């Protein structure tokens, strides 16, 4: 939709209103509109100055991110801001909502800024892999000091209205009529000599100790600067505000911006921004589907997951009952929750008062009947289908009609639980990720008969819990764990063919994951997978042998690695190496040196292949949904955009070709390119072509 900037004159003051739903992003027509409004105000002798405001909930949310991939259309935002600074009449920004990125930069082009109570000011560009490209890194330091500007720009976190005034980003917080106050400010400024624009005055840069304070702040960011190119650029650009005249510093900032914008890492981060928002749109959901209110929740099971899930509700201020089969298990679960909150208090991230409030919201209970009054029940008992079916049958009778009944199962069939409940339309999966109070992903599993209302309720509550919901379909392991199982199988296979656990883990940490599969397995406990394999009648020779040897991971001090005396990082263990070599021999596999490239490809590409099958089956609606699952559920490195975006960046033809090679080499037919992957590769397309189709549909 085209943006507009309306112009009117009231009491001799021009008011330009930026109106570009939903968030007044600065697309080309908005930039032109601001420029035209300024020209009109300057040309009209009856006008003494101009107020710039935003319509709706935002002042201006920043540059229009959708324009980044396209050829630039004039005027550039930087030019508009320079024209504003050259104005002979006072300009005042009236900021009632978010002024982010280019929006804040635009406001910095004015002579004064007033904020309403709901204003938020920030430079979030860093999160998109770029830096503010229209003077933000140069004008903010002059206004509030480089030592304060730098952390603000490098974190991307906004400040609220009160803080904006404290910092000196805004002149005043107006509780009442913001536009009237802005007009008053125009009148006051018009009555005296016009204040110098920010560019004309070095401001806080010349304060005593400013340089030293800045260098100290820069030092604190050294580690991030080494890993994230945009952070290094931000530091240098802020430093330029001390060392270069404004025009040269602006040019240097612009050069950084262009280089970063065109870097694949920023493209990936922008993809994530849009994929996350796209995932919120549930395909096939009728427009009139409304979420039911959830005043009370119940969680069944106070184990690893149940406790974390209950904490999410308490953290969001929603009363929750945590239900166990006996008092002892309940007490254990409650103790664990109390301990986690105590750590937060000790670290200073939670106040004593908030801790007490949260604990008071979690009520323990024994026996399923305690769930009868809940509006939403989340089952997180042992991973056994018969047990879960029994529980859903009871829930179906004891809960109120319309209560949403969810299972946190990792793998099991939600349709079977739905059938057992006798109320299939109320049943779905809400699959949290461990630790449930930390990880942001929530796979919401739509079963065959799940009603639009139940689905809307689950998505709505996910947002209230500050989770990132992704709606998926029923299959073994849903999206995340189903893809993960392909990686797990290859990791084990690579050990048998000659790689060491450390080599496999290194390939993934070099790729950008925080941990490799074996370090992760040691942390989570090898018995989890062992139990699942036993239940399914499958085997993983190395993993099974480790479990049989009592090597269950960190908790037993030994797993794929050794953890002498409670060490948290493992050391390679000769016993494990010998065990793997015996397993290779028993399978008749000739061990060889395997390159890191092969290890990486064999861990990542089979997941992408499974992702293609998942898309083909409609288990995930869009490739971006799969990316969001991996980013928020498994810490996929954001600057690689998720597995499907990564596949597009590598090129599907190459991914398909490597998969064929590995299929032939290992005789593993599951590595053959999935039909969808093969087709897109042959057509020279990427998964993004499917995203475009889904959006158009
Ligand atoms: N450009 C284009 N579209 C944008 C946008 C932007 N800067 N910011 C938000 N949108 C779109 C979203 O994609 C979404 O679209 P759909 O409804 O089609 O999905 C819609 O606006 C609403 O966004 P949210 O769902 O996020 O709504 P919200 O109320 O939760 O949050 C917001 C609003 C706080 C503004 C949030 O969207 C946000 O943080 N946006 C990003 C702001 C940003 O990063 N700005 C910097 C841009 S870069 C820049 O400015 C560079 C420079 O120096 C020139
Ligand atoms: P857990 O073994 O730590 O906890 C399960 C709890 O359920 C136990 O405390 C047990 O006493 C209780 N319980 C058993 N029957 C019950 C009943 N009838 N009523 C009330 N409580 C009952 O198991 P965990 O790890 O918390 O897993 C729970 C579920 O969450 C499983 O379905 C699992 O697959 C799933 N899950 C587990 C993840 C993990 O990383 N551990 C991640 C995501 C999902």
- ipTM associated with this complex: 0.90
Q: What pLDDT score was predicted for residue 693?
A: 84
CA distance 168 to 113: 10
Residue % of the chain over a pLDDT of 90: 95
> Which of 302, 304, 525 is the best mutation target for the ligand 2 pocket, counting ligand atoms within 8 Å of the beta carbon and taking the most?
304
Q: How far is the CA of 61 from the centre of ligand 1 (A)?
A: 6
Mean pLDDT of 107-125: 98
360-386 per-position pLDDT tens digit: 999 999 999 999 999 999 999 999 999
Judged by DSSP in three states, 193 sits in coil
Query: pLDDT category, 2, cuts 50, 70, 90?
Result: low
Task: Find the ligand nearest to 135 CA.
Answer: 1
Q: How far is the CA of 587 from the centre of ligand 1 (A)?
A: 54
Answer for the pair 37, 16: CB distance below 8 angstroms, yes or no.
yes
Give the largest CA-CA distance in the chain: 93
Instruction: Say yes or no: 568 and 642 in one domain.
Output: no
In the numeric block, the tokens 């928002």 are attached to: 277
Query: Counting atoms of ligand 2 from 1, which one is nearest the CA of 407?
Result: 32
Instruction: Say yes or no: 623 and 534 in one domain.
Output: no
Report yes or no on 268 lying in a domain: no
Query: Counting atoms of ligand 1 from 1, which one is nearest the CA of 131?
Result: 53
Task: Please tell me the residue having the least CA distance from ligand 1 atom 42.
Answer: 61
168-204 per-position pLDDT tens digit: 999 999 999 999 999 999 999 999 999 999 999 999 9
- Compute CA distances 555 → 3, 525, 576, 592, 610, whole Å: 58, 7, 17, 32, 32
Instruction: Say yes or no: 604 and 564 in one domain.
Output: no
Task: Find the ligand nearest to 521 CA.
Answer: 2
Task: Find the ligand nearest to 281 CA.
Answer: 1
Answer for the pair 394, 420: CB distance below 8 angstroms, yes or no.
no
451-480 per-position pLDDT tens digit: 999 999 999 999 999 999 999 999 999 999
Report yes or no on 267 lying in a domain: no
Instruction: Say yes or no: 234 and 307 in one domain.
Output: no
Instruction: Say yes or no: 87 and 20 in one domain.
Output: yes
> In 75-143, at which residue ranges do the beta strands (DSSP E only) sit?
91-95, 98-100, 112-115, 120-122
Is the pLDDT reported for residue 1 higher than 50? no
Helix axes 517-524, 480-497, angle to 10 degrees: 110
Burial 534-557, CB ≥16 within 10 A → b, else e: eeeeeebbbbbbbbeeebbbbebb
Question: What CATH number does the domain containing 559 carry?
Answer: 1.10.1040.50
Mean pLDDT of 227-233: 95
Q: Is 328 a catalytic residue?
A: no
Q: Is the peptide bond before 295 cis (omega within 30 degrees of 0)?
A: no
Report yes or no on 222 lying in a domain: yes
CA distance 284 to 184: 51
Domain count, the chain: 4
Instruction: Say yes or no: 436 and 553 in one domain.
Output: no
Q: Which of 378, 141, 95 is nearest to 243 (CA)?
A: 141
Instruction: Say yes or no: 568 and 614 in one domain.
Output: no
β-bridge partners, 15: 8, 51
Answer for the pair 478, 314: CB distance below 8 angstroms, yes or no.
no
Q: What pLDDT score was predicted for residue 512?
A: 94
The count of C-alpha atoms lying within 13 angstroms of the C-alpha of 309, restricted to the half-sphere facing its C-beta, is 31
Can you read off the two tokens belonging to residue 480? Answer: 């995340």
Q: How far is the CA of 630 from the centre of ligand 1 (A)?
A: 22
Report yes or no on 290 lying in a domain: no
234-264 per-position pLDDT tens digit: 999 999 999 999 999 999 999 999 999 999 9
Query: pLDDT category, 3, cuts 50, 70, 90?
Result: low
Query: Counting atoms of ligand 2 from 1, which one is nearest the CA of 524?
Result: 40
Task: Please tell me the residue having the least CA distance from ligand 1 atom 39.
Answer: 61
Query: pLDDT category, 692, cuts 50, 70, 90?
Result: confident
Is the pLDDT reported for residue 508 higher than 80? yes
Instruction: Say yes or no: 672 and 547 in one domain.
Output: no
Q: How far is the CA of 120 from the centre of ligand 1 (A)?
A: 13
Task: Please tell me the residue having the least CA distance from ligand 1 atom 10.
Answer: 23
Q: Which residues contact 136 (CB under 8 A, 6 or more apart)?
A: 101, 104, 105, 108, 123, 125, 153
β-bridge partners, 94: 53, 114
**End of a domain among 536, 559, 587?**
587
> Which of 333, 381, 408, 430 is the best mutation target for the ligand 2 pocket, counting ligand atoms within 8 Å of the beta carbon and taking the most?
381
- Compute CA distances 168 → 38, 165, 300, 419, 561, whole Å: 25, 5, 50, 61, 53
**End of a domain among 526, 556, 587?**
587
Residue % of the chain over a pLDDT of 70: 100
Question: What CATH number does the domain containing 20 carry?
Answer: 3.90.226.10
Judged by DSSP in three states, 59 sits in strand
126-148 per-position pLDDT tens digit: 999 999 999 999 999 999 999 99
Instruction: Say yes or no: 47 and 155 in one domain.
Output: yes
Tell me how far the alpha carbon of residue 597 is from its chain's centroid: 28
Question: What CATH number does the domain containing 685 carry?
Answer: 1.10.1040.10
Task: Find the ligand nearest to 102 CA.
Answer: 1
Q: How far is the CA of 362 from the centre of ligand 2 (A)?
A: 17
Instruction: Say yes or no: 173 and 126 in one domain.
Output: yes
Q: What pLDDT score was predicted for residue 624?
A: 97
CA distance 360 to 341: 12
- Of 61-75, 416-430, 486-500, least confident by mean pLDDT is 61-75
Report yes or no on 104 lying in a domain: yes
Question: What CATH number does the domain containing 343 carry?
Answer: 3.40.50.720
Report yes or no on 620 lying in a domain: yes
Helix axes 596-616, 623-634, angle to 10 degrees: 130
Angle at 522 between CA 384 and CA 662, to 5 degrees: 90
Report yes or no on 269 lying in a domain: no
Mean pLDDT of the chain: 96
Mean pLDDT of 10-25: 96
Q: How far apart are the first and last CA of the chain?
A: 18
Q: In what order do the strands lie in the sheet with 49-54?
A: 4-10, 13-19, 49-54, 91-95, 112-115, 172-173
Q: Which of 687, 623, 689 is nearest to 650 (CA)?
A: 687
CA distance 150 to 156: 10
CA distance 444 to 452: 12
Can you read off the two tokens belonging to residue 144? Answer: 């509030």
Beta strands 376-379 and 404-407 are parallel
Mean pLDDT of 611-622: 97
Is the pLDDT reported for residue 564 higher than 50? yes
Is the pLDDT reported for residue 689 higher than 70? yes
400: exposed, middle or buried (C-beta count within 10 Å: 0-12, 13-18, 19+)? exposed
Q: Is 617 a catalytic residue?
A: no
Q: What pLDDT score was predicted for residue 69?
A: 80
The residue annotated as part of the active site, out of 125, 276, 379, 443, is 125
Instruction: Say yes or no: 66 and 199 in one domain.
Output: yes
Q: Which domain holds residue 41?
A: 5-261
Instruction: Indicate if the alpha-carbon torsion angle 245, 248, 253, 254 is positive or negative.
Output: positive
pTM of the model: 0.91
**End of a domain among 549, 566, 587?**
587
> Which of 30, 58, 61 is the best mutation target for the ligand 1 pocket, counting ligand atoms within 8 Å of the beta carbon and taking the most?
61
260-316 per-position pLDDT tens digit: 999 999 999 999 999 999 998 898 999 999 999 999 999 999 999 999 999 999 999
Is the pLDDT reported for residue 634 higher than 90? yes
Instruction: Say yes or no: 681 and 548 in one domain.
Output: no
**370 Cβ closer than 6 Å to some ligand 2 atom:** no
Report yes or no on 272 lying in a domain: no
Answer for the pair 456, 285: CB distance below 8 angstroms, yes or no.
yes
Q: What pLDDT score was predicted for residue 187?
A: 98
């Amino acid at each position: 939709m085209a943006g507009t900037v309306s112009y009117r004159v009231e009491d001799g003051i021009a008011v330009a209103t930026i109106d570009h739903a939903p968030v007044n992003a600065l697309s080309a027509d908005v930039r032109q509109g601001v420029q035209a409004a300024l020209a009109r105000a300057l040309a009209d002798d009856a006008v003494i100055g101009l107020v710039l405001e935003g319509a709706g909930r935002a002042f201006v949310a920043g540059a229009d991110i959708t324009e980044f991939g396209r050829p630039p259309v004039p005027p550039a935002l930087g030019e508009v801001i320079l024209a504003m600074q050259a104005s002979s009449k006072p300009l005042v920004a009236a900021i009632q909502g978010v002024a982010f990125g280019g929006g804040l930069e635009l406001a910095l082009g004015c002579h004064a800024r007033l904020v309403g109570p709901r204003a938020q000011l920030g430079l979030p560009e860093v999160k998109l892999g770029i830096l503010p490209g229209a003077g933000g890194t140069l004008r903010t330091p002059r206004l509030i000091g480089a030592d304060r500007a730098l952390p603000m720009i490098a974190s991307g976190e906004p400040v609220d209205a009160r803080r904006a005034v404290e910092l000196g980003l805004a002149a005043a917080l107006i509780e009442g009529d913001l536009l009237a106050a802005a007009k008053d400010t125009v009148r006051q400024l018009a009555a005296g000599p016009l204040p110098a624009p920010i560019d004309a005055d070095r401001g806080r840069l010349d304060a005593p100790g400013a340089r030293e304070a800045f260098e100290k702040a820069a030092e604190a960011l050294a580690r991030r600067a080494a890993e994230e190119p945009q952070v290094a650029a931000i530091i240098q650009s802020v430093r330029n505000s001390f060392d270069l005249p404004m025009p040269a510093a602006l040019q240097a900032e612009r050069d950084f911006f262009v280089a970063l914008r065109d870097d694949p890492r920023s493209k990936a981060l922008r993809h994530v921004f849009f994929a996350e928002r796209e995932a919120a749109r549930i395909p096939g959901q009728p427009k009139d589907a409304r979420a039911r209110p959830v005043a009370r929740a119940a969680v069944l099971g106070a184990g690893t997951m149940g406790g974390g899930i209950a904490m999410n509700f308490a953290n969001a201020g929603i009363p929750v009952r945590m239900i166990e089969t006996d008092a002892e298990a309940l007490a254990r679960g409650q103790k664990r929750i109390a301990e986690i909150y105590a750590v937060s208090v000790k670290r200073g991230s939670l106040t004593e008062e908030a801790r007490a409030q949260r604990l008071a919201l979690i009520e323990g209970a024994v026996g399923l009947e305690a769930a009868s009054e809940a509006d939403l029940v989340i089952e997180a008992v042992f991973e056994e289908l018969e047990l879960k079916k029994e529980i859903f049958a009871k829930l179906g009778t004891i809960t109120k009609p319309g209560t949403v009944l969810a299972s946190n199962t990792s793998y099991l069939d939600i349709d079977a639980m739905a059938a057992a409940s006798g109320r299939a339309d109320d049943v779905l999966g809400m699959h949290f990720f461990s630790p449930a109070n930390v990880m942001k992903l929530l796979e919401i599993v739509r079963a065959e008969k799940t009603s639009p209302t139940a689905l809307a309720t689950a998505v709505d509550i996910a947002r209230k819990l500050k989770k990132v919901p992704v709606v998926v379909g029923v299959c073994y392991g849903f999206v995340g764990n189903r893809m993960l199982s392909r990686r797990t199988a290859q990791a084990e296979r690579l050990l048998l063919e000659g790689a060491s656990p450390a080599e496999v883990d290194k390939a993934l940490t070099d790729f950008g994951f925080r941990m490799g599969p074996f370090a992760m397995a040691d942390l989570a406990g090898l018995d989890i997978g062992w139990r699942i394999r036993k239940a399914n009648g499958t085997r993983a020779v190395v993993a099974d042998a480790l479990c049989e040897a009592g090597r269950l991971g960190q908790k037993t001090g030994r797993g794929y690695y050794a953890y002498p005396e409670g060490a948290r990082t493992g050391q390679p263990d000769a016993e494990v190496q010998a065990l793997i070599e015996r397993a290779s021999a028993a399978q008749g596999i000739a061990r060889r040196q395997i390159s890191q490239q092969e290890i990486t490809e064999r861990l990542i590409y089979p997941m992408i292949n499974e992702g293609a099958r998942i898309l083909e089956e409609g288990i995930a609606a869009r490739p971006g949904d799969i990316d969001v699952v991996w980013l928020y559920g498994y810490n996929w490195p954001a600057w690689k955009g998720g597995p499907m975006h990564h596949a597009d960046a590598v090129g599907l033809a190459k991914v398909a070709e490597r998969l064929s090679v590995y299929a032939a080499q290992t005789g593993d037919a599951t590595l053959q390119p999935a039909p969808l992957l093969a087709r897109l590769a042959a057509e020279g397309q990427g998964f993004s072509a499917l995203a475009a189709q889904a959006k158009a549909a």
